[in-house]
Amino acid sequence: MPSPATGAGPSLAIFDLDGTLTRHDTLAPYLFGFARRHPRRWAGLWRILPAALEYATRHHDRGQLKSRAIRALLGGESRLTIEAWSDEFVRALEPRGVFHRAALAAVAAHRAAGDHLVLLSASPDLYVPQIGRALGFERTVCTEVRWEGEHLDGALISANRRGAEKVRCLERLRAQYPGLAVIAYGNSAADLPHLRLADRAVLVNVGPALEREARALGITVTQWA
């Protein structure tokens, strides 16, 4: 079967997660879902507020805010506890209708064509690799967090995989899959820098202003239910 990317041989298909494959962000439900099951963790919520205020007023890196939230609500938990929650969280996504049906169809079409599937997300490796495996992705590239032995620290040990960092990730992937056409899927203005470098790019579920900007860059815009 020809690739949906080129109509020819296999391609490299790179999908964003939050808002592209899914209908909304996954990190907040993941963190707050854990806290609901472990109410003692709500005591750490105050630690997020200074980082949130700093981000809102000074536009600092989202990675710092992300790390503060992870450390506040999950920091110190055992690997077994985190992995059990991650498995539960990921298993519940599809039954709850979190994934766009059209997104799952696009993934299936690429798989049927023999394309290489990569999940590229700014969300953390606490659960994103499990989502990738559940959906049949060949590889997952996402934000990495620190462990201290068998307990979660929560600090970021990689760059936050967003914006310019996704450009670097796409360039590395292109070098690792030489000769393959690249098709990339995203859903936000932060995805435009790496989408514009793909051989074909698709931006989903955006407003009129971003749609005009994307079309001016030669990026396909569509709506996924």
Prediction pTM value:
0.92
Q: What is the dihedral of CA 116, 120, 123, 127, to 10 degrees?
A: 10
Sorting pLDDT into bands at 50, 70 and 90, what band is 64?
Answer: confident
Give how far Cα 128 sits from Cα of 30, 72, 164, 178, 207, Å.
11, 19, 20, 25, 26
Handedness of CA 158, 127, 52, 211 (dihedral sign): positive
What pLDDT is attached to residue 167?
Answer: 98
- Alpha-carbon gap, residue 221 to 218, rounded angstroms: 9
**Long-range Cβ contacts of 136-141 (<8 Å, 24+ apart):** 136/107, 136/111, 137/15, 137/107, 141/169, 141/173
Is the pLDDT assigned to residue 133 strictly greater than 70? yes
Q: What is the pLDDT of residues 21-58, one digit of tens each?
A: 999 999 999 999 999 999 999 988 887 877 667 766 66
Using CA atoms, how far apart are residues 214 and 192, in angstroms rounded to an integer?
7
pLDDT for residue 45: 81
The CATH architecture of the domain made up of 12-222 is: 3-Layer(aba) Sandwich (3.40)
**Which is nearest to 173 in space by CA: 20, 221, 165, 112?**
165
User: CA–CA separation, 177 vs 199, rounded Å?
Assistant: 14
190: closest CA among 212, 174, 206? Answer: 206
pLDDT mean over 193-210: 97
Domains in the chain: boundaries = 12-222
Token pair listed for 97: 């209708």
Per-residue model confidence (pLDDT) at position 44: 83
